[in-house]
Every structure is written in structure tokens, then in C-alpha cells.
Amino acid sequence: MALQLKYASNATLLLDDLVRSLGTPSTPAGLVVPVLMPSLPLVERVKVTLARRCGVSMGASFLLPGAFIEHIAKLVGVAPIHPSWRPEGLSWRLVPLLAAMVREGYSRHF
């Protein structure tokens, strides 16, 4: 599988090109193509458009940047990022610290 970069001057043209290439079988049966997407709304738009034009939306795994990096790391044998370093893990560890800062009088700095 080769890396393909798609770009266009507007989102509709990009969507059309992406759906056209995903709707054309070019990979062996059973192989799921990873597709890097910038946002969840765009993922949903591509899935709906692909399903409307081709009758089904399958054969592609739409990944947001963090999941895409983890996918690539797994392919090359790099250990996954520990969950405590992901944004959701960091934010929960900060909540108790913020409460302590407020109790100590640091609230005027926020």
C-alpha cells in the first residue's frame, strides 16, 4: 500500500476526490485502508457520502491524528504512548492540583 496525499482548494472537491478513490476497489479484499482525517465531522461527512454514492461505507478506517500516529507507531514497532500522557489522562491529574491552588489563594492569578 502506498501513501497517497489528497488536497484541494475547497472541502467539496477534496471530499469528491477522496470518496472517488475510496469507492474504487484498489486494495486486496479484506485489507482496511487507514485514512487520516482532521476532524470527526469530516469523518462523518465522508462516511455518509461514501455510503450514498457506493451503497456501503466500508474498507476504510478513518483515524484522527492521535490514532493515526499510534497506528504508524504500531506498524514500525514503537511502544504505544502510556495513557497518562494522553490529554484526557493529563487533565484528570490536574483537577486536584487546581483545587489545591484555589484553596491556597492562587485564584487571583486565573
Q: Is residue 105 domain-shared with residue 53, that is, in the same domain?
A: no
Q: What is the pLDDT of residue 26?
A: 63
Q: What is the pLDDT of residue 90?
A: 64
Q: Is residue 95 domain-shared with residue 73, that is, in the same domain?
A: no
Query: What is the extent of the structural domain holding 94?
Result: 83-110
Q: Is residue 67 domain-shared with residue 100, that is, in the same domain?
A: no
Q: Is residue 75 domain-shared with residue 89, that is, in the same domain?
A: no
Q: What is the pLDDT of residue 39?
A: 87
Q: Is residue 16 domain-shared with residue 65, that is, in the same domain?
A: yes
Q: Is residue 107 domain-shared with residue 64, that is, in the same domain?
A: no
Q: What is the pLDDT of residue 91?
A: 65
**36 bridge partner residues:** 63
Q: Is residue 50 domain-shared with residue 88, that is, in the same domain?
A: no
Q: Is residue 61 domain-shared with residue 94, that is, in the same domain?
A: no
Q: pLDDT 10s digit of each residue in the chain, 110 long?
A: 577 777 778 878 888 888 788 777 665 666 778 888 888 998 898 888 888 888 777 778 888 988 888 888 888 888 877 776 676 666 666 777 777 878 777 655 55
* Any domain includes 40: yes
Q: Is residue 15 domain-shared with residue 56, that is, in the same domain?
A: yes
DSSP secondary structure letters along 31-94? PPEEEE-S-HHHHHHHHHHHHHHHS---SEEEE-HHHHHHHHHHHHTPPPPPGGGSHHHHHHHH
Q: What is the pLDDT of residue 107?
A: 54
Give the count of domains, the chain.
Answer: 2
